[in-house]
Structure 1
């Protein structure tokens, strides 16, 4: 039996819970370490890298839930682990004011718990959605839960910001504990009773495969392998610009800190608009026109690539280039393709004669998270290298944006090629066999 929209939105509370806690670790604690404690920016960067490093375990979390037949304990346990890690990290930040190395020693296991918690909860949340959301709702459902996550990020950032002034280590720990408690409550509300209704029955019962054997069997499927490579390429391109857009605005367009921050906000606003467009196309507008998932994915990748190439060109004409409109368009394309890709993930994850949604979604999620981590590093490293090699900041940054745009165009080609591995798909489907 498939999930109703009420049930889908309840599961969106779990995604919101993940965003609520993560924003404290990646934004608030990052700022405290660099500004209030005057520590090198590489320290929070390395700690976040630890989180990304744990994402290799995502397929393992999905495989464990596949074998046990229930995902709710993994989701609630993952959120609890995430909250515990966040509180340990907050305590570590306070400790750094007195002993830098002591604080780092405490922060390392904290950030490892953060990564493991996100992996366990996030993987099995998407697997639960994949197994129980109707195929014609997958892209819209992906949009809905991601919009709720963004709302959680924004609401927590604003509220925590007010509660943390004036800053003190005790305040940071108290706010983190409060947010973690609310997030755990949301996870319980979101998952309560969701698995009481039996999932659609698969033709065969799950075989008891060892983890490595299950991964090897999965990787042998050409569509799974091709889609995983597409996810990695597209998400790498998505994140390459994340940490260099605002420096580019300052160095090339002469924007102030406030102006470049607003520009980054325009990118997020565009992404939200793209997600809403996909949501509306799968709900309200579906009565009159059906936009296939493949159109959103391929179109979003192509428009993202074109927007990045335009951004690279615009730097050489900074005095007249409409950078705000350019960045908003980039965000629009990014948001549309990203949530449509989530919908396609859910479609492919539910395929097969056995209930293997967890390990499939874990494989895709690991590819996405690793690409995000690699993108953050490679984008900044490439910008630094190019600025050292050429005298023009516009050319240095522009070369990175242009390369990113090419990767997006390659990802669009990979998405188109997915249909060539098997029999033709039903009209409008990216993933055959839905």
Structure 2
């Protein structure tokens, strides 16, 4: 019997899936920001420890292409989304208990942390990749850029709300307050996910009304062959390199910002957590602005996304120079405006870059949305892991040899700024490559300038 025709997801359905990204962002913010600060400042652990743990959760996500490949072959995504979120939430609660355990039994605390962050990485990768594949196949082509924008923005909203709420809940700081905050965030995130995905995915074999919005029938080639075919495409390969370098620069400050605020500006845990909220509010504003006007074509018909990516990278480099000055001057520097500016520039570059990613995911000789998103997601995850670890390791090493703690952060911030300048150059080169690409690639890259979170969700 012929399956009834189903319409692609409307705006309400897209917003529902965006709630999953909000939940992902809320839980990840707790584990990569607040727990990092607690281990470094309150537990007096070296910054390399939480950086290595966060790097571990990113390293696990190298398997993202496998999950995307499975999605391309037609496996159901909802169980992966729910199962991944459950794994993420349980890992976040375990990571919180492990961090507090380090005060009395550091060996056992570190062991439990390793297990917890492995769970976090598996949960983020499974749920995030499956969600992106579901969006790509349930949303009509003309709405995919906007759908990516909505999910990205909602993830940042989740991070901002989580940062502010946790900052309030753990003030004044205590182990009990932190445990309660982590449990509340994880529990709410899982319940929101259950409600958001209920009934969204079509039954297997269902027909989508608009043929362009339906999944493509892919020839069943082995995973390695599919991966090799995509990597052989110059634009896909060079875009992967840009994603890696830009996200390396983006993530290098992620694990050291709150310790920087605590060690150099003497902020309390609640204050430094709220500082992360200020940064993410800047990210949100940058995304909204870029999404509103960044995707418009110029009078000559040229797409402006690459220009916005270059602008965001250069702006991020300048903001990091501002943080370097803050490290030298100390509490007299206007830290919050500088952090807000960094977040704004980060939002501009990230939306433009990942907006292009969503368009390129369906381009090429063989459109495999899931595996393409998996490849770029893996590149981003590896960059995040390495950036966070080497940023923290650089601070630890420099603090051991430099007379002032602020000088160690200064050097790291300057290096991060230089990486953003390299990313700006790579983005400008990608623009030239897109201009030389075929009409098959040129069409899908006419995006609105917004994207969807990969590693973070």
The two structures have a TM-score, normalised by structure 2, of 0.77
Distance in structure 1 (CA, Å) of the matches to 2:107 and 2:259: 30
Corresponding residue of 1:81: 87
Does 2:20 align with 1:14?
yes
Which residue of structure 2 lines up, in the alignment, with residue 234 of structure 1?
Answer: 246
Would the alpha carbon gap of residues 138 and 296 (structure 1) be closer, same or farther in structure 2, given more than 3 Å must change? farther
**C-alpha deviation, 1:26, in angstroms:** 3.0
Cα pair 1:143 1:340 within 8 Å, conserved: no
Show CA shifts across 1:389-431 (max 9, x none). Answer: 6668777655443332332222122223224446447799696
Aligned to 2:279: 267
By how many angstroms is 1:371 displaced?
1.0
Question: Which ranges in structure 1 are unaligned for 5 or more consecutive residues?
Answer: none
Q: Is the 8 A contact 2:47 2:393 kept in 1?
A: no
Give, in whole Å, the separation in 2 of the partners of 1:4 and 1:43.
Answer: 44
Deviation at 1:24, TM superposition (A): 3.4
Counterpart selection for 2:197 from 191, 197, 211:
191
**Aligned residue number for residue 301 of structure 1:** 313
Superposition deviation, residue 228 in structure 1: 0.7
Once residues 135 and 227 of structure 1 are traced to their aligned partners in structure 2, the CA distance between those partners, rounded to angstroms, is 21
Q: Within 5 Å, give how 1:368-387 maps onto structure 2.
A: 368-385=380-397
Residue from 48, 54, 60 that aligns with 2:54: 48
Superposition map of 1:285-300 within 5 A = 292-300=304-312
Alignment: residue pair count: 430
Any idea what SS the aligned residue of 2:73 has? helix
Residue pair 1:202, 1:354 contacting (<8 A) in 2 also: no
Give the C-alpha shift of residue 74 in structure 1: 1.6
Alpha-carbon shift at residue 326 of structure 1 (Å): 4.3
Mapped partners of 1:54, 1:391: distance in 2:
37
- Cross-structure match for 1:257: 267
Is the contact between residue 163 and residue 175 of structure 1 (CA under 8 Å) also seen in structure 2?
Answer: yes
CA distance in 2, matches of 1:47, 1:85: 12
Correspondent of 1:127 among 124, 133, 145: 133
1:166 deviates by: 8.3
**1:270 Cα shift?**
2.0
Alignment of 1:29-428 (within 5 A): 29-30=35-36, 33=39, 41-93=47-99, 99-133=105-139, 137-160=143-166, 176-196=182-202, 198=208, 200=212, 205-245=217-257, 255-257=265-267, 265-281=277-293, 292-309=304-321, 312=324, 325-352=337-364, 354=366, 356-385=368-397, 397-421=409-433, 423-424=436-437
Q: CA RMSD in A?
A: 4.1
Contact 1:62 1:361 in 2 (8 A): yes
Contact 1:135 1:347 in 2 (8 A): no
Q: Please give the alpha-carbon distance, in whole angstroms, between the structure 2 residues aligned to 1:41 and 1:312.
A: 19
CA separation of 1:30 and 1:245: change in aligned 2, threshold 3 A = closer
More displaced stretch, 405-414 vs 91-100: 91-100
